[in-house]
Amino acid sequence: MSDATSQNRTFRRIAWRILPFLFACYVLNFIDRVNIGFAKLQFMHDLRFTESVYGTATALFFIAYALFEVPSNLLLTKIGASRTLMRIMALWGAVTVLQTFMTNAGVLYVLRFLLGAAEAGFFPGMILFLSYWFPDRLRARINSILMLAVPIAGMVGGPLSGWIMSHLNGRLDLRGWQWLFLIEGLPAIALGALAPRLLCDAPGKARWLSAHEKDTVQRALKADSTRADSMLHSSAPLRDIFRAPSILVLAAVYFCIYIGLIAVTFWSPTILRHAGAASLSEIGWIAGIVSFLTMLANLAIAHSSDRYNERRWHVAGCGFAAAACLLALPAAAHSVAATAALLALAQMTSFTMPIVFWTIPTRLLSGRAAAAGIALISMSGSIGGAIGSWLIGSVSARTGSPYVAMGAVAAILLLGMLLLLGCIKQSRREAAGTTIGAVGSEI
């Protein structure tokens, strides 16, 4: 058996073993994070909240997420991914269920902050965990498979949320939005309890891998280390990691990316209603169709990025397209179909940016430095989510529509893409035109 065939078989086996469970966890994570965008269509009236209250609550989620990301990722390196995931999922599921019983803005603020604190470290933890198992040349494709959970969550969560709120409204004296939080929060607790049994923290501890397979993984990861353009190693002090120019630039770029991401994630239902979508079910089904198209775009663009071993322009191209769609929304303000088309393209490109983006930091970091650096970059996204949520909510409340806020988000996205292209140089591996080749083509 050739070395390339052996590697293909090993990494395919690893992917089938760990990705399905992480995928299911991420689906639940995204549903529980964004279901408030659907719930608000009812509880805003029931509890007499304003758009500003909603924006503040969304911002508090990201503030808490940012505060606890670095500690959570550093803890993961000490106690392992399985126990970290169990803690995170049990806590976020419990807080999601508690949102059923909120009665005023203060309670909403506290619960969204607690939800952010509970979820902190989930996404950067998964990115770090996957870097223990897969070499750089496969990560865009592996990331794309994992992040298919986001559009799948939209395909499932949109119609499900619309159905729950429409058909269970008033049952047992609970409003539809209360049933939404109750039904969609419980599965996270159950799945989190399974994490220690279904996940292994590192290849060297995996009993289901042979000695030869473990060696194959270690050799592939070691080869990445020797080819790295600018590696911050495990022994690097935290202050050096947090001051590294490349890390700071990537954090600024991800800050901009995440503002665009939360704009289409949390405000799409509101924009669709503003354009004339009448019912919750209609909005839910449109969200499901958009998510299906997003899934196809995620796979295609990630495959292209791996095939040509090019990262920067794949990210920037998506960012430019998303910004153009957000700027064009006012022209489609009186057409549900045109608005849905623009939101579809904006979501397809916004959701693809992180998939390719996260292959860049993992080229620069290893060990403890990876845990801290990835968490720092992810934290900047959470800060962007907080600021973006506050900005969109405040501007929408003052102007009476979401379109001015979407224009501001588009400008921030454009700034981030120019920063990426101007400050993050093409790596030597990209410049050499290296493609995945036979080893990566079958994963």
Q: Express each pLDDT in 161-203 by its tens digit.
A: 888 888 888 788 888 889 999 998 899 998 888 888 888 888 8
Q: Nearest-CA neighbor of 73 among 132, 153, 24?
A: 132
Residue 282 CB burial class (10 angstroms; 0-12, 13-18, ≥19): middle
The secondary element (H helix, E strand) that includes residue 169 is none
- Between 98 and 200, the more confident residue is 98
* Paired tokens of 142: 């592996």
Lowest mean pLDDT among 347-351, 432-436, 439-443: 439-443
Q: For the chain, which residues make up each domain, given as ranges? A: 18-199+238-424
Cβ 122 vs Cβ 188: under 8 Å: no
Lowest mean pLDDT among 218-227, 313-322, 418-427: 218-227
Name the amino acid, one letter, at 280: L
Give dist(CA 161, CA 386) in Å, integer.
24
Return the axis-axis angle of helices 36-46 and 245-275, rounded to nearest 10°.
50
As a whole number of Å, the end-to-end CA separation of the chain is 17
- Predicted pLDDT at 443: 33
Banded model confidence at residue 149, pLDDT cuts 50, 70, 90? confident
Give dist(CA 38, CA 159) in Å, integer.
10
Cβ 311 vs Cβ 360: under 8 Å: yes
- Tally of helices (H runs) and strands (E runs) in the chain: 20, 0
- Predicted pLDDT at 432: 47
Average pLDDT over residues 103-130: 87
* Paired tokens of 56: 């503040």
Lowest mean pLDDT among 59-73, 90-104, 336-350: 59-73
Cβ 30 vs Cβ 157: under 8 Å: yes
* Paired tokens of 188: 């996270």
Which 8-state DSSP code applies to residue 203? G
| Helix (H/G/I), strand (E/B), else coil: 22 | helix
- Predicted pLDDT at 278: 62
Name the amino acid, one letter, at 323: A
Give dist(CA 151, CA 290) in Å, integer.
8
Q: Nearest-CA neighbor of 99 among 30, 175, 27?
A: 175
Superfamily classification of domain 18-199+238-424: MFS general substrate transporter like domains (1.20.1250.20)
Write the pLDDT tens digit of every residue in 353-381.
988 898 887 676 666 666 677 778 888 88
* pLDDT reading at 93 higher than 70: yes
Give dist(CA 165, CA 155) in Å, integer.
16
* pLDDT reading at 431 higher than 60: no
